[in-house]
């Protein structure tokens, strides 16, 4: 849900929340709300939590909404870093985009480490099922491809819950749509974002 320095470890998970259950049905699955989406930053040298954010997502007028968010930081919140590292809408993106996909794929959503980067595009998987990938999504993929270099397909596939070949096809689509330039040579990786993607 953001970009964090190497000296910290961040994880994010979905857990069941206490309280009356409210089923929310999508085209892919029925989801029992409320759930908690957490974002936890720990110090790898001590294993101690530095920041814990928990967002409770429940139904409001038959629509998933963040109804409560708690933040805890024993040593105080670094608000400047947090503003860069955490997108406040990400927990809702997880519930409306990633959670239905995990359930439809037969995965246990409570046992999956959630992606930490690429929001909101990483949660836009239902758009893919309708047969259309948005320019915003493909631009995000193109940026990550250029930033990660070799091994991009495997790392992005893990974050987006798809096969590496699917990630490669997204890069190919970004090139075909004029969002990413051609590679510098046959079989070579790389390129640059084109003006259309920066508008």
Domain boundary, last residue among 57, 89, 115? 115
**Residue 122 domain-assigned (yes or no):** no
Same domain, 145 and 55: no
- Nearest Cα neighbor of 117 from 144, 138, 99, 83 is 144
**Residue 104 domain-assigned (yes or no):** yes
Same domain, 13 and 93: yes
Domain boundary, last residue among 56, 83, 115? 115
pLDDT confidence of residue 126: 40
Output the tens digit of pLDDT for each of the chain's 199 residues.
544 444 568 888 999 999 999 999 988 789 999 999 999 988 888 888 899 999 999 999 999 999 999 999 988 888 887 777 777 888 998 998 888 888 887 888 998 888 776 665 566 554 344 446 778 888 989 999 999 988 999 988 877 777 888 889 999 999 999 999 988 777 677 888 987 644 4
**Residue 185 domain-assigned (yes or no):** yes
pLDDT confidence of residue 57: 97
Write down the pTM of the prediction: 0.61
Q: What is the domain count for the chain?
A: 2
Same domain, 104 and 195: no
**Residue 187 domain-assigned (yes or no):** yes
Same domain, 90 and 157: no
pLDDT confidence of residue 4: 45
Same domain, 28 and 99: yes
Three-state secondary structure call for residue 36: strand
Same domain, 104 and 8: yes
pLDDT confidence of residue 128: 42
Domain enclosing residue 54, as ranges: 1-115
Same domain, 87 and 174: no
**Long-range contacts of 144-152, Cβ-Cβ distance < 8 Å, separation of 24 or more:** 144/117, 144/118, 145/171, 145/174, 145/180, 145/189, 146/180, 146/190, 146/191, 146/192, 146/193, 149/189, 149/190, 150/189, 152/189
pLDDT confidence of residue 77: 84
**Residue 179 domain-assigned (yes or no):** yes
pLDDT confidence of residue 199: 47
pLDDT confidence of residue 90: 86
Q: What is the CATH number of the domain that holds 143?
A: 1.10.10
């Amino acid at each position: 849900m953001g970009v964090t320095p190497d000296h910290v470890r961040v994880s994010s998970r979905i857990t069941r929340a206490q309280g009356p259950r409210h089923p929310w049905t999508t085209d892919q699955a029925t989801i029992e709300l409320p759930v908690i989406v957490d974002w936890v930053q720990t110090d790898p040298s001590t294993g101690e939590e530095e920041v814990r954010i928990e967002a409770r997502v429940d139904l409001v007028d038959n629509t998933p909404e963040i109804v409560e968010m708690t933040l805890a930081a024993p040593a105080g919140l670094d608000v400047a870093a947090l503003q860069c590292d955490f997108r406040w809408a990400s927990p809702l993106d997880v519930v409306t985009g990633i959670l239905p996909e995990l359930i439809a794929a037969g995965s246990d959503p409570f046992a999956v480490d959630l992606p930490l980067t690429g929001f909101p595009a990483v949660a836009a998987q239902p758009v893919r099922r309708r047969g259309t990938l948005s320019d915003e999504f493909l631009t995000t993929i193109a940026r990550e491809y250029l930033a990660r270099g070799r091994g991009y397909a495997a790392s992005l596939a893990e974050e987006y819950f798809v096969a590496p070949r699917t990630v490669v096809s997204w890069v190919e689509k970004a090139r075909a749509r004029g969002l990413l330039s051609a590679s510098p040579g046959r079989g070579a990786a790389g390129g640059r974002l084109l003006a259309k993607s920066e508008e």
